[in-house]
Structure 1
Amino acid sequence: MKSLVRQWTVACVFVLADAGAVRALDLAKGESLFEKCHACHAVKQEGGTLGPPLAGIFGRKAGSLEQFRYSPAMRRSSLIWDDTTLDRFLTEPQALVPGNRMPFAGMPDKSDRDDLIAYLHKATIAQ
């Protein structure tokens, strides 16, 4: 019985230690990071210049907006935009979709990507 209690206690310590490592997302930082994206993308349906609008992006197939001229590579991709896909794309766009037209080298910092994606959830709710 003592062994079982000790194993359970050790397991709880690891779970609590891991929970303490979780970082709160920073929407203000995400909005600030979006300024780099804003030159090409809008968070509303209207606006944006070079890149497609990001309104309603979550759950949308990549390259699917009729009114935007995507690269053939993006149109052929089978990506559906969600947190995981956006995280991978923002890390290194050319690695995930080789031949896409987005002139962005990537965002190597995971916490920056997390904050940006959290901001996009708030800012791109379908209008």
Structure 2
Amino acid sequence: MPIFARRLFFSVILAATPAFAAQAAPAIDAAQLSAGEKVFAQCKACHAIEKGKADGVGPNLYGVYGSKAGAHSATFKYSAAMKASGQTWNDATLNSFLLAPMKAVPGTKMTYGGVKDDAKRAALVYYLKIKSAE
């Protein structure tokens, strides 16, 4: 078999093999997203999460998941503590911060007491993650 034909043959085989095929994005958990949206309702007093919306008392959280703490919004005046925290917002750091903001980042401007319920906090982290990717 000529080399071109072999390459074509193996390309077709590999592309048809599930392990090598393009992976679809995971399905969104609608129930978890809805639960997170309900928890976020209390956050709306200070934060927006829609692309292009201005910062409020707190920064707009659109796209916050995966960003560096204290650097997400170019227009928000973050505390020195938040800027120096060195955190990147992911499941673990958001969970810790949303449990007890002032404990997670001493000196933060966010004086909110935190989301104590584990399930509600997990839903809120999920909501922030999904909304950040829209």
**Aligning the two structures, in what range does the TM-score lie when normalised by the shorter sequence?**
0.7 to 0.9
Structure 2 matches for 1:102-117, cutoff 5 A?
Answer: 102-117=110-125
Q: How much does 1:84 deviate? A: 0.7
Q: Deviations over 1:25-58 (max 9, x none)?
A: 6221211110110111111231341111111111
Identity of aligned residues (%): 40
Whether contact under 8 Å (2:82, 2:105) holds in the other structure is yes
Q: Counterpart of 1:30?
A: 36
Structure 1 residue ranges without an equivalent (≥5): 1-23
Q: Counterpart of 1:77?
A: 85
Return structure 1 stretches of 4+ with deviation > 3 angstroms.
Answer: none
Q: Counterpart of 2:3?
A: none
Pairs aligned (count) = 103
Q: How much does 1:124 deviate? A: 2.4
* Structure 2 Cα separation of the partners of residues 48 and 68 of structure 1: 6
Scaled by the length of structure 2, the TM-score of the pair is 0.71
* Structure 1 Cα separation of the partners of residues 31 and 81 of structure 2: 32
Computed over aligned residues only, the root mean square deviation of the Cα atoms, in angstroms, reads 1.7
SS at match of 1:104: coil
Whether contact under 8 Å (2:55, 2:76) holds in the other structure is no
